[in-house]
Amino acid sequence: METRRFDLVILGSGSTAFAAAIRAAELGKTVAMTENRTVGGTCVNRGCLPSKNLIAAAEIVHDAAHPRYPGLQPAKLNVNFPELIKQKDEIIAYYRAKKYESILGDQVTVLEGNARFVDRNAVEVGAVHARADRFLIATGSSPVIPPIPGLDEVPYLTSDLLTSGEAMELAELPESLTIIGGGYIALELGQLFHRLGSRVTMVEMLDRLLPGYEPEVGDTLAQALRDEGISLLLSTRATAVRRDGAGIMVAVAGKATAALRSSHLLVAVGRVPNTKNLGLEKVAVNTDAHGAVVVDDELRTSASHVWAAGDVIGANTESQMATPVGAQDGGIAALNALSDAHRKVDHRVIPRAVFTDPQVAVVGITDKQAVAAGYRCACRSVRLEQVPRAQAVRSPRGVIKMVADRESRRVLGVSMVGREAAEVIHEAAMGMRLGAKIEDFVSMLHIYPTMAEALKIAALSFTKDISKLSCCAEG
């Protein structure tokens, strides 16, 4: 067994780990990252990057077949799925080489294999003992596999189906697809495959899509997906799975009771922190009931020489499983571990998006959460048909909701379903970060016509009848 010494050993090599490694190298320290699959982790290899690449391709196919403008004739584009996968893999390889592998220098080493603490100051990775005085756990998360009878006896896909160069990668377009789950991953992938030509049925045990969001969000999105032809079975759960010839049969019960047959099955019910088999007991690192590493607001664990960041900490410190959160926190964790900076994380304002069509984007808290937190809440919802840009480009489907504190008028949350929502939400996030009030969004000059005007119109709706405003929403 070879022993190697580093200033910082990072378990993982995803976005969080790379941010930490870069910060450590900037501080002149030596770093080891560990990886048991592919350098770069989930986001670049099988998550954000490949899914958004293919979602954009599917949108082209859909828009060609369903032009929004009278006078444009529908056109059916031929979908060569293997070629789509090939170009996706090329994009991943380029991005991984450019933004991950190329920044590895003399100070940063990648150790391949499963990492496990073997004593207080050592991690075993393959045939290497990596020793250090400081450690960072950044092992990310994995798809949850629910205990459905028969699931372990049939082939099924998870959100890892978009991986690159691995055996589990989906190489052919499913003729039909049953999806168990109704969260953001299930929604993005469901619409993607439907638009490329698969017959898609989604099974969600709750009565609304995206239940942690505003009710207007889930209801609006559900109607949009149904209008496209996706079958949504809400308040319905999968009770058993079995093979059926060359396909798979899923028995469901609840609001809908049926046996669903499809060529493929996708299980997308959420993600769980990767903390199993890390030997955390060797260093007395505590985890919570969900398996996430418990940290304080400096990202320090219960072990004084170990920090953690990214998906692996779950909701601790009010964090969220999202690539930009992990990337930001990875740098903070490395700084705290190696320089005693005692910098605290700030998870108060985290914008997030679901890349369906229409897009979903939210920041801050919901109406219900505001009331639970003790605010006297003022809220307004506006249909996007009131936004000139949405009408001008014949895309009025959607809604925007603004939540504010009635006394101070400070904006507490914004939720939007609609065209370019993932771009618009950044203005709301910056405003909230700076303590913006309703009137700040009203007085902010917006380019006309843009989807960002939705924020101004929502703010104006607190005091005016927006149906009587002029085109530029000046009031």
Q: Which of 40-49, 250-259, 428-437 has the lowest mean pLDDT?
A: 40-49
* Residues ≥6 apart with Cβ < 8 Å to 71: none
Fold annotation for 352-468? Enolase-like; domain 1 (3.30.390)
Q: Does domain 151-269 have CATH number 3.40.50.12500?
A: no
Predicted local distance difference test score (pLDDT) of residue 257: 86
List every span in the chain annotated with CATH 3.30.390.30.
Answer: 352-468
* Structure confidence by residue, pLDDT tens digits, 258-309: 899 999 999 999 999 999 999 999 999 999 999 999 999 999 999 999 999 9
List every span in the chain annotated with CATH 3.50.50.60.
Answer: 2-40+100-143+272-339, 151-269
Predicted local distance difference test score (pLDDT) of residue 340: 84
DSSP for 311-324?
GGGTTGGG--S-HH
Tokens 């936004």 sit at which residue? 387
Q: Does domain 2-40+100-143+272-339 have CATH number 3.30.56.10?
A: no
* Structure confidence by residue, pLDDT tens digits, 189-215: 999 999 999 999 999 999 999 989 999
Predicted local distance difference test score (pLDDT) of residue 404: 98
User: What is the average pLDDT value for the chain, to the nearest integer?
Assistant: 94
Asked whether 208 and 222 are in contact (CB, 8 A), the reply is yes
pLDDT band at 475 (very low <50, low <70, confident <90, very high): low
Both tokens of 332, joined, read 């903070």
How many CB atoms are closer than 10 A to CB 281? Answer: 10
Q: Which of 51-60, 86-95, 427-436, 463-472 has the lowest mean pLDDT?
A: 463-472
User: Regarding predicted confidence, which is higher, 314 or 100?
Assistant: 314
Is residue 473 over pLDDT 60?
no
The whole-model pTM stands at: 0.94
CA distances from 130 to 2, 14, 97, 213, 442 (A): 8, 19, 25, 43, 56
Please list, residue by residue across 319-351, b when 16 or more beta carbons sit within 10 angstroms of its beta carbon and e when fewer do.
bebbbebbbbbbbbbbbbbbeeeeeebeeeebb
